[in-house]
Chain A
Amino acid sequence: MARRARPLGPAVAAGAAAAALVLALALVPLGAVAWRAEAGAGLGPADWAAVRFTLWQAFLSAALSCLLAVPVARALARRNFAGRGVLITLLGAPFILPVIVAVLGLLAVYGRSGLISDALGLLGLGPIDIYGLTGVVLAHVFFNLPLATRLVLQGWLAIPSERFRLAASLGFAPSDVARVLERPMLRATLPGAFLVIFLICMTSFAVALTLGGGPRATTVELAIYQAFRFEFDLGRAALLALVQFALCAAAAVLAFAVALPTGMGAGLDRPVARWDATGRALRLTDAAWLAFAALFLILPLGMVVAKGLPGMAGLPASVFAAAARSVLVALGSAALTLALALPLALAAVRLGGAGGAALQAAGTLSIATSPLVIGTGLFILLFPVADPVALALPVTALVNAAMSLPFALRALVPAVAEAEAGFGRLADSLGVAGRSRLRLVLLPRLRRPAGFALGLSAALSMGDLGVIALFADPSQATLPLQLYRLMAAYRMEDAAGAALLLLILSLALFWVFDRGGRAHAAA
């Protein structure tokens, strides 16, 4: 109601501009590729097989991630134990790992010469074989279970503790609590979590190929790669990219229609006091789930560390130069992410309703674009007017920023809504408007989610090979590119060291921003 009394003003204009920019970044390069194309071949049966496989593996990966996230998040929500905070931070690590590093870490555990196969070998059993759909889904769950857990845990902690107190005073059993309090929360949280993970898995390529075991595991992104690289059929590449984008957009519309999860930027550092889950069996169940999550997620990370340590000492100077460049790109990308996400979030909250949802959807869809097509399209657009090589790092930062925008929005939008709901009227009545409102009212209330968004965006940018490979100048490699170069030069031990450096830097960037947002965060 109060909304109407206030003019929509520059906030909405800025948000609309940010949304337009993000949409343009997703669609204009695609258009450029299509425009540059000569008459290409249409989609064949192999392409539709790729579409089916892509949808199926994304569905399985998202469903399994969400399903496993529920008991893990529940255990985290209702148990307090030493190391809980560390566990939650480490849970964030797989999500920001470069694909090749994570895959090698996973195979060090689940591979034919991994820990499990070695253990089986001691018992006289043969090695396990995860290649195929199993491997693809395993890797995707490894990447995304932490994200799902974080989203669901946030939902749990958003249930006011008074409700649990009330439930306890009414003598609710755990099953009653689940029915009355937890299921409605999950019903509101899971569709959004499912969507984000589904979209991430839709554009997966290297994971699907490396662990998929063969051309069965061809995803749309690989088909795009083939059209572009093998056939140089830009029309087909654009068509496939459009199909991929349309599928993601359809999924997004569907999930937005069901529900949206609320912010994942808020504090996760306090368990909810519970009176219903004190039974011994429940405690054991929770402990088992936590042990499962910790082992599943941290063991492969441990292997990355173990394999990387020997190579760390002798890393060539160029790796550190690349690391410094990557940190710069990550910082630029993080700043850009916030510069895009903040006006989008403000405008989405100010507009509310369908308009607000449309703005958020625009900001989320950047995840659905093919990096190869974006990179190629940008190249087609930039080449006539500028030196693409000179723009390599800024363009990389911009594309990385667009890719992490959905996560930043998910953290910021609910926080903006909460700040406006709590203090909007006071600010109105005092005439605090425009930039003063941003500076004095909103930004201080957004420190936590903004810190989280900056950290996540910086970390994601750090690990992303991104479009740099299409624009590269020999002297401008980022750390992931340098990692690949080490591998291409047979220097596998150095590459493992560089991977560890990448892991450390990504986590450190995330940690610094995330903590920075929490320190001094007002009550």
Chain B
Amino acid sequence: MRFPMIAAAALAAGPAPAQTPVLTVYTYDSFVTEWGPGPQVEAAFEDVCGCDLRFLAMGDGAALLARLQLEGARTEADIVMGLDTNLTARAADTGLFARHGRDDVKLDLPVGWDDDMFLPYDWGYFAFVYDKTKLATPPGSFQELIAAPEDLKIIIQDPRSSTPGLGLLLWVQAAYGERAGEIWQGLAPHVLTVTKGWSEAYGLFVEGEADMVLSYTTSPAYHLIAEGDDTKAAAPFAEGHYMQIEVAGRIASSDQPELAERFLDFMLTDAFQSVIPTTNWMYPAVTPEGGLPQGFETLISPDEALIYAAGEAAKVRDAALETWRAALAR
């Protein structure tokens, strides 16, 4: 029974060359689902590369890095895509990544980019998202949020288990530095709950549990474009917004170094970048020729972009977490 099936499969595969090179890309789970960028990116790259692009997905960016650390030099990955700037310092420390060696990459980021190991493919701002029909005048800063009546509730994520959670931790830290503890103490009464990940938090928000949820400035674009629902908005904060920049890097020990390089190049072309806004719901790192999809112009655009340089984030992280825990554990 088995052999005929294998034979049939081989026949069905037809005249494809037996030695098609395989490029293995590790990424996070939501990238590869049918609603994420994965399927379109795979098709587009396979059209031009004469190769088989294989995605392997694991949890989120942090799980991805942990997996890579477990596998070490024996990893099958050629490319790792989906780390962010909070993780790149640790990722670089593994010694597994090769330098990309490009010094004139043209990027449309609100901040400069000089990392010689990782290349960004998309970015976004963290923001509190609310329902315009339920909250007429959202707070315009952390200070206003603290001063709001106590029944204005927000849902945030745990920085230890979630990327946006860590983003908020660093956002407050970057905006307030030494005063972060004070801000967290002020926020504490408004924090309805802290969830494990973004999905739980956003799910609770959609169910109407809280007035605001920690998400991205681009979240309202999903509701507007995919659902035709314009009631969701992100509240602009006067302190500026912390950024998330998602990056990819090439594994030094890859057996497909040329293919991997081609993928990194491809990543910054329109074929890849134009898929990002309406699948990953983030800003593309290079604005495609046709511009952003209709609807993105309604999104808020923060006056100030906050972000720690790769090494800095790792340095302030542990102390910031302690501050956060002490303030919220009251």
Query: From residue B70, how far is it (CB to closest CB) to chain A in Å?
Result: 6
| Closest residue of B by beta carbon distance from A474 | B32
How far, in whole Å, are A172 and B207 apart by their CA atoms in the complex?
53
Contact B199 A215 (CB under 8 A): no
- Interface stretch, picked from A154-162, A202-210, A282-290, is A202-210
Contact A226 B281 (CB under 8 A): no
How far, in whole Å, are A108 and B206 apart by their CA atoms in the complex?
12
Q: Which of A119-164 contact B (CB under 8 A)?
A: 126, 129, 131, 135
Contact A206 B193 (CB under 8 A): no
Contact B192 A491 (CB under 8 A): no
- Interface stretch, picked from A187-195, A358-366, A481-489, is A481-489
* Total B residues in contact with A, Cβ cutoff 8 Å: 58
> In the assembled complex, which residues on chain A have CB atoms less than 8 Å from the CB atom of B325?
46, 215
Contact with A along B276-293 (1 / 0, CB 8 A): 000001000000000000
The number of inter-chain residue pairs (CB within 8 angstroms) is 152
Contact B57 A484 (CB under 8 A): no
- Interface stretch, picked from A89-97, A324-332, A379-387, is A379-387
Contact A215 B329 (CB under 8 A): yes
Contact B196 A376 (CB under 8 A): no
Contact A487 B66 (CB under 8 A): no
Contact A226 B200 (CB under 8 A): no
- Interface stretch, picked from B99-107, B153-161, B237-245, is B153-161
> In the assembled complex, which residues on chain A have CB atoms less than 8 Å from the CB atom of B29?
469, 472, 474, 481, 484-485, 488
Given contacts A210-B200, A215-B329, contact A229 B63 (CB under 8 A): yes
Given contacts A126-B151, A216-B328, A232-B66, contact A469 B59 (CB under 8 A): yes
> In the assembled complex, which residues on chain B have CB atoms less than 8 Å from the CB atom of A104?
203-204, 207
Chain A contact-residue range equals 35 or more
Main secondary structure, interface of A, reads helix
Contact B161 A229 (CB under 8 A): yes
Q: Which of B45-82 contact A (CB under 8 A)?
A: 55-59, 62-63, 65-67, 69-71, 74
Contact A112 B35 (CB under 8 A): no
How far, in whole Å, are A226 and B62 apart by their CA atoms in the complex?
11
Given contacts A46-B325, A126-B151, A229-B63, contact A112 B209 (CB under 8 A): yes
Contact with B along A470-502 (1 / 0, CB 8 A): 101110000001001111111110010000000
How far, in whole Å, are A481 and B324 apart by their CA atoms in the complex?
30
> In the assembled complex, which residues on chain A have CB atoms less than 8 Å from the CB atom of B200?
100, 103, 206, 210, 487
Q: Does A352 contact B (CB under 8 A)?
A: no
Q: Which of B82-101 contact A (CB under 8 A)?
A: 90
Query: From residue A378, how far is it (CB to closest CB) to chain B in Å?
Result: 11
Contact B30 A111 (CB under 8 A): no
How far, in whole Å, are A49 and B188 apart by their CA atoms in the complex?
19
Contact B153 A112 (CB under 8 A): yes
Given contacts A215-B194, A222-B160, contact A232 B65 (CB under 8 A): yes
Contact B58 A489 (CB under 8 A): no
> In the assembled complex, which residues on chain B have CB atoms less than 8 Å from the CB atom of A213?
191-194
> In the assembled complex, which residues on chain B have CB atoms less than 8 Å from the CB atom of A211?
193
> In the assembled complex, which residues on chain A have CB atoms less than 8 Å from the CB atom of B188?
214
Contact B38 A112 (CB under 8 A): no
Contact B207 A209 (CB under 8 A): no
Q: Which of B169-194 contact A (CB under 8 A)?
A: 188, 191-194
> In the assembled complex, which residues on chain B have CB atoms less than 8 Å from the CB atom of A470?
58-59, 63, 67
How far, in whole Å, are A232 and B29 apart by their CA atoms in the complex?
19
| Closest residue of B by beta carbon distance from A103 | B200
Contact A487 B62 (CB under 8 A): no
> In the assembled complex, which residues on chain A have CB atoms less than 8 Å from the CB atom of B199?
100, 484, 487-488
Given contacts A113-B209, A225-B161, contact A474 B38 (CB under 8 A): yes
Query: From residue A421, how far is it (CB to closest CB) to chain B in Å?
Result: 46
> In the assembled complex, which residues on chain A have CB atoms less than 8 Å from the CB atom of B121?
none
Contact B324 A212 (CB under 8 A): no
Contact B56 A111 (CB under 8 A): no
Query: From residue A200, how far is it (CB to closest CB) to chain B in Å?
Result: 18
Q: Does A81 contact B (CB under 8 A)?
A: no
Query: From residue B29, how far is it (CB to closest CB) to chain A in Å?
Result: 6
Query: From residue B204, how far is it (CB to closest CB) to chain A in Å?
Result: 7
> In the assembled complex, which residues on chain B have CB atoms less than 8 Å from the CB atom of A112?
153, 192, 208-210
Chain A to chain B contacts (Cβ below 8 Å), 14 pairs: A36-B70, A103-B200, A111-B207, A112-B208, A113-B208, A210-B196, A212-B194, A229-B62, A470-B67, A485-B33, A489-B30, A490-B223, A491-B35, A492-B206
Query: 3 shortest A-B CB distances, which residue pairs?
Result: A113-B208, A487-B199, A489-B35
- Extra inter-chain contacts (20) besides given A131-B193, A318-B34, CB under 8 Å: A36-B70, A46-B325, A100-B200, A103-B200, A111-B208, A111-B209, A112-B192, A213-B191, A214-B188, A222-B158, A222-B161, A226-B161, A230-B62, A316-B34, A318-B33, A384-B74, A485-B30, A487-B199, A488-B198, A492-B203
